Structure 1
Amino acid sequence: MYKTAMLIYNGNAGQKQMDKILAQIIGPLSLAIPNLTLLQTQKPGDAEHFCRQHGEEVELVIALGGDGTVHECINGLSPLDKRPIFSVIPSGTCNDFARALDIPLNIKQAAMLISEEGIEEEVDIVQTNDQYFGNFWGTGLIAEASLNIDEQSKGVFGRLSYYVSAIKSMTAQDRFSFEMEVDGETLKDEAVMVLALNGRFIGATEFPLSSIQLNDGKIDVMVIKEAGFPLFKEILSAKATVDWEKDKSTIDHFQASSLKISTSSKRYIDLDGEHYEGKDHSMTVLPGHLNVVKGNRG
């Protein structure tokens, strides 16, 4: 199916565990891909560097890892003029981008998508300043919560660590002022959290909003005005349906192909689970920017 591919995996993961994972997938991948190159990251930024330096030399780039590895690969591939097909074999805690692509969380099954069962589809990527994201951008409550995650607990409890941290933050989260420009209109308001969603999963939980699509040329923007409101707790409880109309006084929702947002002071930003800091942000949806291998469900 593919003649050349580059598999990037996290060298900071436990060596014994990674050896077991590689042993399960290298055989099937090698049979399907005659020229398969393995690259091991040693430090943050390596996956992005590998993609920028070698992405145009191969037909396929495979990210073996969690959302951090995927985020780096997206940032390395997105600026390229000739972008390879991108695939994910999820081995992290939440694996949100993989979930959005309907990729099985079982690594053998994920590898089978690449070798024989998967389908290719163009998905949107969002550029924000000099970064890119495939899943979400957030500031306020979500960024503060993710910063407070205990890494040891994260490994043991997975997505629950996000929820516990978020609920703790909700009681003390301060509002912040912001100015947002969307489609020529300016909005000034206060909020405890602003989200821009391209994918539909955060912390391994599906956001219950049917308009969120990876290939519609738009991001779904959520302005959360109050901490502790019932809607967010329903989302954390992974409820399948949420009464958005009931909570419209505490949340604004709209879609946009581009937007600018400025906060009253520098704030932490959560970008697909990675942390940055800034005050002024510009976002532009790049429609169908990345061709990905996805599951064939739905």
Structure 2
Amino acid sequence: MISNKSKNYYLILKETLLVVSFFFCFVFFYIIMFMEKLLLVYNPKSGDGRIRAQLAKVIEIFSNANYRVEVYATKRENDGMEWIEKVGCEFDRIVVCGGDGMFHEAVNGWFQSRSKAPLAYIPSGTVNDFANTHNIPKNDVEAATMIASDGMIDQIDAGLFNDTYFSYVAAFGFATSTAYDTPQTKKRKLGTLAYVLHALEVVDFTHWENNCVSTRIEYEGGMIEGNFLYGQISSSRYVGGMDAFTKGRYDLKDGLLEGVFIRQPMNLSELNSIIASIAKSDIENNPLIVPVQSPWFEFDGESIAWTLDGEYGGEVPHAKIQVVEQQLKVVLPKEEE
């Protein structure tokens, strides 16, 4: 027979187990009900790959801010876009770590998912134009993570190229292919210099006409046509690491896109005038450079190869580009008081 002392022992043990079970159920319930879910999508091959060494610290910062973190490492092109499109609606915040191309994927996945979660960005690429424009630290992963965790939520303009979204730029013409053609190994070793060296390899400097495209460009209130050396439509301060085309013209929430189109130079003198105007950020007073602000642009002519946010955007004879006004919900640095 079991003694009274043993019965008391088992009774106390049973009650203790019930209390412990209740406690863990309460903790689990609290985590499920009150901690926000955060999806962290990162490109392990982006830039110099430094994000992999700091991934644990990134997760720790988010966990300390009471986020329940799910991590997804991309494995191939468009993997991040497809994953965000599939699961984006299940999360309260989506954070992307990579270069401009990775953020481009994320923006498209985010729009397609119809997620209400704000989109945050930890830059770890080579150029990081989006981060430069929005003052997100490029070389300080911890600082960028703090912004992604507790920054200001804002809604800014984006662009739509036919049926593909872009976060800051659509461009064609001279040397734009270097943004997506430059080998990743070169970018890791040389940084932005890799783009310059690759451009020297692929651009035909002796026959400028081979670098030009013929097209008709319509926009709100006007039209231009002819042969163009270069063109870009943006909602950004920085494109390709510089602001010569956008300084004093851009507004990220005005419902307008900034277009700049450079006509084909016919001789060395005209080419030099274009270079001088860009160097001085004086594009308004050169007849070979056409700056335009419009909520939409339409292109018809020969087939043009486009780059969208530094990624290959396809080659098409017709393109409709329009602003998506204040629809991109992002996490940005808080404004200084």
Q: TM-score range by the shorter chain?
A: 0.7 to 0.9
The reply on whether 1:288 has 2:326 as its aligned counterpart is yes
The reply on whether 1:269 has 2:309 as its aligned counterpart is no
Conserved in 2, the CA contact under 8 Å of 1:12 and 1:43? no
Conserved in 2, the CA contact under 8 Å of 1:9 and 1:41? yes
Q: Which secondary structure does the structure 2 equivalent of 1:205 belong to?
A: coil
Q: Distance in 1 between matches of 2:47 and 2:230?
A: 34
Alpha-carbon shift at residue 19 of structure 1 (Å): 2.8
The reply on whether 1:217 has 2:255 as its aligned counterpart is yes
Moved more, 23-32 or 147-156: 147-156
Q: Structure 2 vs 1, CA of residues 44 and 122 (structure 1 numbering), >3 Å: closer, same or farther?
A: same
Task: Write 1 or 2 for the structure with the bigger share of strand.
Answer: 1
Partner of 1:176: 213
Q: Distance in 2 between matches of 1:148 and 1:9?
A: 21
Partner of 2:59: 26
Q: Please report the TM-score for the alignment, with normalisation by the length of structure 1.
A: 0.88
Instruction: Report the AA paired with residue 53 of structure 2.
Output: K
Partner of 1:38: 71
Q: Which secondary structure does the structure 2 equivalent of 1:6 belong to?
A: strand
After superposition, residues 2-81 of structure 1 pair within 5 angstroms as 3-13=36-46, 17-81=50-114
Partner of 1:136: 169
Alpha-carbon shift at residue 196 of structure 1 (Å): 0.5
Partner of 2:225: 188
Alpha-carbon shift at residue 199 of structure 1 (Å): 1.3
Q: Which secondary structure does the structure 1 equivalent of 2:261 belong to?
A: strand
Q: Distance in 1 between matches of 2:35 and 2:292?
A: 39
Q: Distance in 2 between matches of 1:148 and 1:206?
A: 22
Name which one, 1 or 2, has greater alpha-carbon Rg. 2
Alpha-carbon shift at residue 38 of structure 1 (Å): 0.7
The reply on whether 1:95 has 2:128 as its aligned counterpart is yes
Instruction: Report the AA paired with residue 187 of structure 2.
Output: K
Instruction: Report the AA paired with residue 39 of structure 2.
Output: M
Instruction: Report the AA paired with residue 108 of structure 1.
Output: E
Instruction: Report the AA paired with residue 52 of structure 2.
Output: D
Count of matched residue pairs: 291
Partner of 1:84: 117
Q: Distance in 1 between matches of 2:308 and 2:189?
A: 23
Q: Structure 2 vs 1, CA of residues 267 and 2 (structure 1 numbering), >3 Å: closer, same or farther?
A: farther
The reply on whether 1:205 has 2:242 as its aligned counterpart is yes
Instruction: Report the AA paired with residue 284 of structure 1.
Output: Q
Instruction: Report the AA paired with residue 140 of structure 1.
Output: G
The partner residue of 1:242 within 281, 284, 290 is: 281
Instruction: Report the AA paired with residue 233 of structure 2.
Output: A
The reply on whether 1:113 has 2:159 as its aligned counterpart is no
Q: Please report the TM-score for the alignment, with normalisation by the length of structure 2.
A: 0.78
Higher RCO (CA < 8 A, seq sep 6+): 1
Task: Write 1 or 2 for the structure with the bigger share of helix.
Answer: 2
Conserved in 1, the CA contact under 8 Å of 2:47 and 2:125? no
Q: Distance in 1 between matches of 2:48 and 2:283?
A: 45
**Alpha-carbon displacement from aligned partner over 1:10-30 (angstroms, at most 9, x marks no partner):** 144599744312023111111
Q: Distance in 1 between matches of 2:146 and 2:160?
A: 31
Q: Structure 2 vs 1, CA of residues 214 and 163 (structure 1 numbering), >3 Å: closer, same or farther?
A: farther
Conserved in 1, the CA contact under 8 Å of 2:297 and 2:320? yes
**Alpha-carbon displacement from aligned partner over 1:190-212 (angstroms, at most 9, x marks no partner):** 21111101112222233452111
- 5+ residue gaps, structure 1, are none
Alpha-carbon shift at residue 184 of structure 1 (Å): 5.6
Alpha-carbon shift at residue 297 of structure 1 (Å): 5.5
Alpha-carbon shift at residue 142 of structure 1 (Å): 3.7
The share of aligned pairs that are identical, in percent, is: 24
Q: Structure 2 vs 1, CA of residues 142 and 73 (structure 1 numbering), >3 Å: closer, same or farther?
A: same
